[in-house]
């Protein structure tokens, strides 16, 4: 059984059972939580003529009801002309639509200071000597997807993880907002994450999919690695789930279906994801999912051994330090669906990883009585240690999951084109760059953009 080594990540905040007890103590919640943004009281119908594009529907800030969510999996066509997967060729898109190189009206006339009250001060902390930056790295600008600190106005932290910190930023060139993940090289080296970090960049570079985050480019300075991604405005699915306690069946189904398509795509490229959990699933402004955090993604055509992931979500073959394959992602999909439907993970045990591992190896899942038979059936076929029975790992591959009765109403091709209404539209009022859906974090005090001694730079040649 593994010890809690550096390769295992923690859950974002307090676990769901503690939270759920607190919620129950504080307010009289029952199975249908009135506080849930998902289970809104009104049952208004979708107006399929409405495009939420730049001007969110007035009611868009409350969740569509469970009723409409019910139809979310089989409803009629809607807003199909939004930014579905761009048809551009794979690796070239970075330079074509790069934040730095996209045309804009006079580049520096409107750099983000005035938009966020606190931007200037944060900016000063983390970006103190912009003026003195050597211009040498300009030479790199001809390289695809190469940026530098001076291309962006750094704003607040959107999230922190075991290895990184993600900032909201604004491009000084096109004034659009992006998210930049910053990793301290010394920390990456200390935690033995060099290969994983290089893989994170390489894997993200290879993928283009409507439900996966886009990486625009990277760079490094003497201390840090930087990855420029799209800013996904709607916040973490984690936050929505904790607020809702648990999702109604159709809501969980919608998110699970989008994740299934993303995993199917990754596996078709022989990429294993290995860190599925609600903290890594972000909602875009229309409520569709984007999977972020490719920190453990890796090209694995057959089998691998590395122990990594997040305890609650680890498959038993990973816990047992056996060789494992892509089907660990399908196990995690089972854990994710369980957590969405129940509000807690099946092997959770008072926050103790060792107990969690024992439970995973024992493999006994208690299904709460409110779960529908179809859901229980799918979950038992995903959360099974028997690899000859685990759905996704059989001859039918991911098709076996997509054709399971629990997903019966899902029209997969429409879902992929984002023609299916999301069950919940995040309340983004502030327009572009509104980070209100993200929690606040203490800001980094060490300045970015330092030059000088760089003992680790050579370990990250792709950045
Ligand atoms: N593109 C993005 N847009 C907005 N927020 C993001 C984006 N990418 C990441 N985040 C936020 O930053 C958090 C941390 O990012 P990420 O998960 O990549 O870091 P990590 O160190 O690998 O995390 P962990 O240890 O939790 O797995 C995410 O959970 C999310 O809240
Ligand atoms: Mg993460």
Task: Return binding residues for ATP.
Answer: 181
Judge whether 423 lies within some domain: no
Read off the pTM: 0.77
pLDDT given at position 430: 82
Atom 20, ligand 1: which residue's CA is nearest?
161
Please give the structure tokens belonging to residue 33: 């939580």
| Catalytic machinery residues | 275
Q: What is the pLDDT of residue 41?
A: 33
Residues 6+ apart with CB under 8 A from 375: 249, 337, 341, 406
* Whole-number average pLDDT of the chain: 78
Burial of 58 (0-12, 13-18, 19+ CB in 10 A): exposed
- pLDDT for the residue 340: 98
Per-residue model confidence (pLDDT) at position 351: 78
Task: Give domain status of residue 73, yes or no.
Answer: yes
pLDDT at 305: 95
Q: Which atom of ligand 1 is nearest to the CA of 160?
A: 14
Find out whether the beta carbon of 159 lies less than 6 Å from any atom of ligand 1: yes
- Return binding residues: 181
Residue 44, both tokens: 């208004």
Alpha helices in 16-110 (DSSP H): 16-26, 66-72, 93-96
CA of 65 to the centre of ligand 2 (A): 29
Determine the pLDDT at residue 350. 87
Whether residue 194 contacts residue 184, with contact meaning beta carbons closer than 8 Å, is answered with no
pLDDT at 325: 98
Ligand nearest to the CA of 191: 1
Q: How far is CA 345 from CA 317, 329, 363, in A?
A: 18, 15, 13
353 lines ligand 1 (CB under 6 A): no
Which residue, chain included where needed, has tokens 């091709």? 413
Does any domain span residue 233?
A: yes
Nearest to 250 by CA among 133, 375, 121, 94: 375
Q: What number does the ligand 1 atom closest to the CA of 233 have? A: 4
Tokens of 99: 């934040």
Number of separate domains in the chain: 1
The domain that contains 195 carries what CATH number?
1.10.510.10
Examine residue 46 and state whether it is found in any structural domain, yes or no. Answer: yes
**What pLDDT is recorded for position 144?**
58
pLDDT by 10s per residue, the chain, length 463: 544 444 788 876 544 444 444 334 433 333 333 222 233 333 333 333 333 333 322 223 333 333 333 333 332 223 333 333 333 333 333 333 344 433 333 333 333 333 333 332 333 223 333 333 333 343 333 345 889 999 999 999 999 988 789 999 999 999 999 999 999 999 999 999 999 999 999 999 999 999 999 999 999 999 999 999 999 999 999 999 999 999 999 999 999 999 999 999 999 999 999 999 999 999 999 999 999 999 999 999 999 999 999 999 999 999 999 999 999 999 999 999 999 999 999 999 987 899 999 999 999 999 999 999 999 999 999 999 999 999 999 999 999 999 999 999 999 999 999 999 999 999 998 878 999 999 999 999 999 999 999 999 999 999 9
* Ligand of minimum distance to the alpha carbon of 165: 1
> What's the half-sphere exposure (Cβ side, CA atoms, 13 Å) at 127?
19
Measure 38 CA to ligand 2 centroid, in angstroms: 23
> Given the DSSP bridges, would you call strands 224-230 and 289-291 parallel, antiparallel or unpaired?
unpaired
329 falls within a domain: yes
Asked if 154 contacts 122 with a C-beta cutoff of 8 angstroms, the reply is yes
Secondary structure element (H or E) that encloses residue 298, with its range: strand 298-299
The number of the ligand 1 atom at minimal distance from the alpha carbon of 295 is 22
pLDDT tens per residue, range 328-378:
999 999 999 999 999 999 999 987 899 999 999 999 999 999 999 999 999
User: Would you say the CB of residue 184 lies under 6 angstroms from ligand 1?
Assistant: no
pLDDT, residue 431, reads: 78
Q: Whose CA is nearest to atom 31 of ligand 1?
A: 159
279 lines ligand 1 (CB under 6 A): yes
- Nearest alpha carbon to residue 241 among 9, 10, 8, 15: 15
Please indicate, yes or no, if residue 438 is contained in any of the structural domains: no
| 6 belongs to a structural domain | no
> 295: Cβ–Cβ under 8 A, 6 or more apart, which residues?
161, 163, 164, 193, 196, 197, 200, 275
Supply the pLDDT for residue 163. 78
Structure tokens at 390: 């685990």
Ligand 1 touching residue 199 (CB < 6 A)? no
| 3-class DSSP assignment, residue 400 | helix
- Domain residues for the domain of 262 are 16-416
pLDDT at residue 432, as a whole number: 86
Does the beta carbon of 213 sit less than 6 angstroms from any atom of ligand 1? Answer: yes
The answer to the question of residue 37 being in a domain is: yes
Angle at 204 between CA 227 and CA 397, to 5 degrees: 155
Could you report the per-residue pLDDT of 219-234, keeping only the tens digit for each?
999 999 999 999 999 9
Residue 178, SS3 per DSSP: strand
> Of the ligands numbered here, which is closest to the C-alpha atom of 166?
1
Q: Are 327 and 318 in contact (CB under 8 A)?
A: no
């Amino acid at each position: 059984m593994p010890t809690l080594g550096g390769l295992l990540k923690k859950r974002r905040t307090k676990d769901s059972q503690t939270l759920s007890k607190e919620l129950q103590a504080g307010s009289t919640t029952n199975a249908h939580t009135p506080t849930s943004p998902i289970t809104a009281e009104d049952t208004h119908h979708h107006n399929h003529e409405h495009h939420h594009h730049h001007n969110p529907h007035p009611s868009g800030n409350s969740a569509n009801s469970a009723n409409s969510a019910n139809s979310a999996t089989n409803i009629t066509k809607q807003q199909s002309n939004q930014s579905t997967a761009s048809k551009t060729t794979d690796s070239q898109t970075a330079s074509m639509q790069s934040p730095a190189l996209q045309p804009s009206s006079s580049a520096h006339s409107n750099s983000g200071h005035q938009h966020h009250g606190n931007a200037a001060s944060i900016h000063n902390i983390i970006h103190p000597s912009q003026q003195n930056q050597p211009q040498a790295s300009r030479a790199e600008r001809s390289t695809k997807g190469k940026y530098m600190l001076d291309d962006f106005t750094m704003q607040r932290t959107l999230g922190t993880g075991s290895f990184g910190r993600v900032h909201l930023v604004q491009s000084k060139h096109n004034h659009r907002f992006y998210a930049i993940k910053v990793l301290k090289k010394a920390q990456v080296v200390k935690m033995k994450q060099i290969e994983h970090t290089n893989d994170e960049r390489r894997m993200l570079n290879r993928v283009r999919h409507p439900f996966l985050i886009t990486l625009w480019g990277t760079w490094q300075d003497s201390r840090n690695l930087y990855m420029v991604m799209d800013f996904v405005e709607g916040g973490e699915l984690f936050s929505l789930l904790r607020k809702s306690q648990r999702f109604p069946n159709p809501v969980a189904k919608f998110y699970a279906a989008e994740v299934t398509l993303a995993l199917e795509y990754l596996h078709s490229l022989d990429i294993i994801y290995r860190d599925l959990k609600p903290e890594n699933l972000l909602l875009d402004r229309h409520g569709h999912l984007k999977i972020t955090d490719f920190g453990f993604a890796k090209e694995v055509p057959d089998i691998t051994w590395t122990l990594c992931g997040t305890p609650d979500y680890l498959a038993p073959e990973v816990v047992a330090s056996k060789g494992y394959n892509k089907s660990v992602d399908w196990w995690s999909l089972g854990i994710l669906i369980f957590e969405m439907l129940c509000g807690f993970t099946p092997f959770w045990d008072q926050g103790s990883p060792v107990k969690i591992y024992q439970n995973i190896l024992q493999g006994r899942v208690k299904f709460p009585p409110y779960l529908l038979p179809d859901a229980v059936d799918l979950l038992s076929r995903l959360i099974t240690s028997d690899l000859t029975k685990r759905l996704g790992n059989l001859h039918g591959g991911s098709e076996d999951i997509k054709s399971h009765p629990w997903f019966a109403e899902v029209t997969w091709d429409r879902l992929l084109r984002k023609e299916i209404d999301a069950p919940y539209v995040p309340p983004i009022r502030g327009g572009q760059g509104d980070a209100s859906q993200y929690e606040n974090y203490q800001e980094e005090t060490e300045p970015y953009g330092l030059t000088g001694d760089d003992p680790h730079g050579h370990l990250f040649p792709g950045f």
